[in-house]
Amino acid sequence: MSDGAVSDGSAAASPARGGLLGGLFDRGGSPAGDGAWLQAMLDTEAALARALERAGLAADGAGAAVTAEAVAGRFDAAELGRRAVHTGNPVPPLVRALTAAVPGWAASAVHHGATSQDILDTAAMLVARDSLDAVLADLATAAAAAAGLAAAHRDTIMIGRTLLQQAVPVTFGLVAAGWLTAIDEARQGLARIRGERLAVQFGGAAGTLAALGEAGPRVAALLADELGLARPALPWHTDRLRILELASALAGAAAVLGKIARDVTLLAQSEVAEVREGGAGGGSSAMPHKRNPIAAVVLLGCTRRVPGLLATLAAAAEQEHQRAAGAWHAEWEPLADLLRLTGSASSWAAELLAGLKVDAGRMRATLDAAGDFPMAGRFAALLTPALGPVAAHDLIAAASAEAAAGGQPLGAALKSGAAARSLAAAGITAGQIDAALDPVGYLGAAAAFTEAALAAHREHEPRLRP
């Protein structure tokens, strides 16, 4: 039997869609399924009918009549998909179905002046807006949890690791502060997209709105007003920068969350055991003794798929003339997946950080077990004024080799033999050796950096809250 994770269901604390993998990758409040996209398309058509009525281009009451019928549950998404093979996208069959559903006197208000791309692109903006709201809410929770960890463990000392090897002492508070700052920066990027770059698409067949004559710009403005989206200077049918900026901001957030999850998986390894996930889940189907870091693992399962989706959207951004032949079509599923997976990752991250358990004693024990070697650089620097840089380096290198060969701490090697004689000649006492090898005195600006991250979080938080 494979080492598949089983859980008690606690990971489903926030909403998740159905299906075999829905609880893993469709987690959180980000709309991901066909129903959300279909409703967004219908919302766009209904808003257009209302805009046309406001502009005097549709009968009184037409907007309300179309809006009343524009309910996703009244349409068969699968049937629309089957019919889409005849038109290359699902909008034409949807327009036919919606037109048939509204009263005859209001039918002319359906889709008037629009083209399929107007409806789908605007629907993408609506789905993105709802998705970003959900992502930002979960990231706010994750940021608050990271801030709590940074404050609580400002002085919790641990070994720092570079290139996956033990390096010099740090604090877990500084580690959590790094997570916090990255999350907040990702939130800032997403909030900018949410507030500035989600715009209505309305250009008609080739971006001129010729079917509406001089009324085109006014209808476009009214449509933007109806939907609460930005009104661009002109249609952006083949200018895909908005899509690419959205995708890049989502990918940035996913990268931040993936880094946190990777740190947790490394710190939670059995041989390290400096942190662990909270909750009762995390078992194995084959090994009952195991406690797997499920939230971190599934979060990584989400974020590992993001770079490829971003690459596809970047490749699709080059589009021909006034309407693309295939590149636009290539965007739909990658964008939907990117929204869904980033939303899921954000939800997992909120749970992961809120429940993370930190073993400060284990962190200190790991640092102590390093046998003073992480302090070798500091001790060499302290010796340099007395011995010179070369002699100081050589003395510490020889003492380190002796200590490693004898399985003893560096301090013990420095207090015996040739090293002890050289240090005594330089006027360095055993007490000074112990003080120089104390990791608490070699944390540099860790506390100041942690407090700076917390202060920045407190300053920006009111503006970042969704």
Of 284, 291, 364, 416, the active-site residue reads 284
Q: What is the pLDDT of residue 93?
A: 98
Q: Which residue has the higher pLDDT, 381 or 125?
A: 125
Q: Which residue has the higher pLDDT, 31 or 392?
A: 392
Which of 7-16, 37-46, 292-301 is least confident?
Answer: 7-16
Of 305, 323, 362, 364, the active-site residue reads 323
Question: Residue 431: how many CB atoms within 10 A of its CB?
Answer: 8
Q: What is the pLDDT of residue 465?
A: 74
Q: What is the pLDDT of residue 401?
A: 92
Please check whether residue 186 is in contact with residue 252, taking contact to mean a CB–CB distance below 8 angstroms. Answer: yes
Helix (H, G, I), strand (E, B) or coil at 268: coil
pLDDT class of 136 with cuts at 50, 70, 90: very high
Query: Residue 100: is it exposed, middle or buried by C-beta count within 10 angstroms (0-12/13-18/19+)?
Result: exposed
Query: Is 323 a residue of the active site?
Result: yes
Q: What is the pLDDT of residue 12?
A: 41
Rg, Å, the chain Cα set: 30
The helix or strand, by DSSP H or E, that contains position 275, with its residue range, turns out to be strand 275-276
Which of 98-112, 336-350, 426-440 is least confident?
Answer: 426-440
Query: Is 284 a residue of the active site?
Result: yes
Which of 18-22, 78-82, 454-458 is least confident?
Answer: 18-22
pLDDT class of 208 with cuts at 50, 70, 90: very high
Helix (H, G, I), strand (E, B) or coil at 436: helix
Residue 442 DSSP code: G
Helix (H, G, I), strand (E, B) or coil at 128: helix
Mean pLDDT throughout 100-123? 98
pLDDT class of 285 with cuts at 50, 70, 90: low
Rounded to whole angstroms, the Cα distance separating 348 from 78 reads: 30
Residue-wise pLDDT tens digits, 51-83: 999 999 999 999 999 999 999 999 999 999 999
Rounded to whole angstroms, the Cα distance separating 269 from 265 reads: 6
Mean pLDDT throughout 427-446? 90
CA-wise closest residue to 342 among 309, 366, 319 = 309
Question: Is the pLDDT confidence value at 5 over 60?
Answer: no
Q: Confirm whether 31-114+211-233 and 373-436 share one CATH topology.
A: no
Please check whether residue 358 is in contact with residue 275, taking contact to mean a CB–CB distance below 8 angstroms. Answer: yes
Q: What class, spelled out in words, does domain 373-436 have in CATH?
A: mainly alpha
DSSP string, 130-162: HHHHHHHHHHHHHHHHHHHHHHHTTT-EEEEEE
Q: What class, spelled out in words, does domain 5-26+124-199+236-365 have in CATH?
A: mainly alpha
Residue-wise pLDDT tens digits, 411-422: 999 998 888 988
Q: What is the pTM of this model?
A: 0.91
Q: What is the pLDDT of residue 1?
A: 35
Rounded to whole angstroms, the Cα distance separating 41 from 20 reads: 27
Whole-number average pLDDT of the chain:
92
Mean pLDDT throughout 241-260? 98
Q: Tell me the domain boundaries of the chain.
A: 5-26+124-199+236-365, 31-114+211-233, 373-436
* CATH-assigned architecture of domain 31-114+211-233: Orthogonal Bundle (1.10)
